[in-house]
Amino acid sequence: MIEGLIGKKIGMTQLFSTNGEVVPVTVIKAGPCIVLQVKTKEKDGYEAVQLGLIEDEVKEKRLSKPLLGHLKKASAPPVRIIQEFKLLSSENAPVLGDKVTVNLLSDEKRVRITGISKGRGFAGVVKRWGFRGGKATRGSMFHRAPGSIGASAFPSRVLKGTRLPGRMGGRRVTVKNLEIANIEGDKDLLIVKGATPGPKGGYLLIRRLLSNGKAKERE
């Protein structure tokens, strides 16, 4: 049993529940992925599966020769994104060249999704950290400034971790406990309630939920 698979964010829309409530959802093209490598304890020291996301627009001429040789071993088409996932149990263990689809998550009710958040560039403390700012009245001279960031006599430095202006976004973010609203296996679509990190067209790692902070027990 593989821990998860790779997906691509299509965008957000909304669904209506049975009682008429509007539910915001994210549509993800989850897979199909192809197994490029199976790692074992005996050979590699740990158990994992290396997956590549199959996409139509990936051109072979844009890939390096070492990568093409790696793909040839699994008889795989050109892929842009490769990611390792844990092998949670020996049940239905994959082999080289197997395809992994969104039906992998058919028994799951919730998932955790990892992606790269949207880059917002250089931002001040009001936008980046939600600071309130000062009075917006005439002559205040303190509208969106951070205020005091440390005493001058002691410790005579800015303490590590102080919230200051800087680059916002563009970081690896994981959202846990996202409820699965629907799975359309024939179209490789996974629909989850709420928002996921990143822009449209961004790549996502979709994993099963952890149990009590640890991975599900291996058999």
Give the model's confidence band at 161: pLDDT under 50 very low, under 70 low, under 90 confident, else very high.
Answer: very high
Same domain, 93 and 137: no
Paired residues of 32 in beta bridges:
none
Same domain, 72 and 136: no
pLDDT over threshold 50, residue 80: yes
In whole numbers, what is the pLDDT of the chain averaged over residues?
89
For position 211, what pLDDT does the model report? Answer: 62
| CA distance linking residue 85 with residue 87, whole number of Å | 7
Sort strands 99-100 and 189-193 into parallel, antiparallel or unpaired. unpaired
Q: What is the pTM of this model?
A: 0.83
Q: What is the CATH number of the domain that holds 14?
A: 3.30.160.810
Domain, as residue range, for 159: 120-168
Per the domain annotation, does 219 fall within a domain?
no
Tens of pLDDT, residue by residue over 5-34, are 999 999 999 999 888 899 999 999 998 999
What are the CA-CA distances from residue 195 to residues 26, 84, 160, 169 (Å)? 6, 24, 31, 15
For position 219, what pLDDT does the model report? Answer: 33
pLDDT over threshold 50, residue 215: no
Q: What is the average pLDDT across 142-147?
A: 90
| CA distance linking residue 210 with residue 3, whole number of Å | 10
For position 141, what pLDDT does the model report? Answer: 87
- Give the chain's domain count: 2
For position 168, what pLDDT does the model report? Answer: 96
